[in-house]
Amino acid sequence: MAVQTTEEFKNGGATSYSITIEYLKASDIKVRIGGALQTYVASSPSSGEYTVSGTTVTLGATATAGTGNVHIYRQTDVDTAAAVFAAGSSIKAADLNAIHDMARMGVAEARSQTITADVRDDQITTAKIAADNITNALIADDQIDSEHLVDGSVDTQHIANENITTAKIATGNVTEAKIADLNVTTGKIADSAVTTNKIANLNITTGKIADGAITDAKIAGGSLDNRYYTETELDAGQLDNRYYTETELNAGQLDNRYYTETESDARYFNISTGDTIKDGDTFPDNDTTIATTAAINDRIIDLVEEVGGFVQ
């Protein structure tokens, strides 16, 4: 007969199972549903019980599919002798076979794979687990918490992209030292985030204002607090007509009490212009120029010499 000691039926769901396990007594066949040991009875099993007849195991309750994996295995009773011989009695072949079968089956069971229910608590230690035998598939979700991580064991290469979200960053953990130069760009600054109190004194220089950044629309919108007037407003008389525009001044708005440079030169003597006859200049005969004393002295000398007789 085949040396078969255990059979498993994943996701059970039936009330009877056909087995190929060789056994000495029906009670040597054991049944577990989802790891829970069932009770053997000779007949009419109820919930939590089973019976064995030939190669058929009948359960007292259906093992629910998906949650009731059925494990049927043999556990030979080696505590009770298969045969006892008395002095002077005959030795029967059946008794010898029974003793042999008990020993054979017991050895086969000892060599069979150990099931979870056979392992006592705390019996599997770290030293009994070979390196690399604990894979991702063997670790249930949420089973590795922070207290089981060695300091420094989670480095950059073990953090997947996008796994550090805003919710994972504690308040105050993003400091200036953690932000590289030039890493805060315009696109990272929320609208209205840069307020007056966030700008240090003297930090807005001419070089920081882009060409055309101060537009008419920004000024017209009241940004100057209505303390300054546009050219249009000034032309419209916002200064209470106390000041004149260039056009108004040119039109004689100062009531002819002031002269332009051209008007002043035409009306008054200007020593730096052709109004002055200087030493060495030709003495003209007109009423529009004024001679200097040096020019007058030279002119007198010229006149005396022309009359003659007054040479020293």
Give the DSSP H or E segment for 295.
helix 293-307
Residues 46, 62: Cα–Cα separation, whole Å: 10
The reported pLDDT for the residue numbered 56 is 96
Position 21 pLDDT exceeds 80:
yes
Quote the percentage of the chain above a pLDDT of 70. 85
* Mean pLDDT to the nearest integer, 130-136: 78
| 223/237 Cα distance (integer angstroms) | 21
Q: Is the dihedral of CA 240, 244, 245, 248 positive or negative?
A: positive
Q: Which residues are CB-neighbours of 212 under 8 A, at least 6 positions away?
A: none
Report how far apart, in Å, the C-alpha atoms of 122 and of each of 125, 126, 128, 168 are: 7, 10, 11, 35
Query: What percent of the chain is modeled with pLDDT above 90?
Result: 12
Residue 117, pLDDT > 90, answer no
Give, as one character, the DSSP assignment of residue 200. Answer: -
**Cα–Cα distance measured from residue 13 to residue 20, given in angstroms and rounded to the nearest whole number:** 19
Per residue in 31-48, pLDDT tens? 998 888 999 999 999 989
**Average per-residue pLDDT in the chain?**
80
- Does residue 265 have a pLDDT over 70? yes
Residue 40 is predicted with a pLDDT of 97
Residue 30, Cβ neighbours under 10 Å: how many? 19
Residue 2 has pLDDT above 60, yes or no: no
Q: Average the pLDDT over 13-37 and give the result.
A: 90
Task: State the pLDDT confidence band at 210, using cuts at 50, 70 and 90.
Answer: confident
The DSSP symbol for 305 reads H
Q: How does pLDDT run across 219-260, given as a tens digit for each residue?
A: 666 666 666 777 777 777 666 667 777 777 777 666 667 777
Q: Residue 65 and residue 180: Cα distance in Å, rounded?
A: 57
pLDDT of residue 51: 96
- What integer pLDDT is reported at residue 264 of this predicted model? 77
What are the boundaries of each domain within the chain? 6-118, 136-168
Which position has the higher pLDDT, 16 or 206? 16
The whole-model pTM stands at: 0.40
Give yes or no for residue 311 having a pLDDT over 80. Answer: no
Average pLDDT on 296-300 reads 86
Residue 17: is its pLDDT beyond 90? Answer: yes
**3-class SS of residue 30:** strand
Decide: residue 24, CB within 10 A, 0-12 exposed, 13-18 middle, 19+ buried. middle
Local confidence band at 123 (pLDDT 50, 70, 90 cut-offs) = confident
Cα–chain center distance at 20: 59
The pLDDT confidence band at residue 1, using thresholds 50, 70 and 90, is very low
136 against 30, higher pLDDT: 30
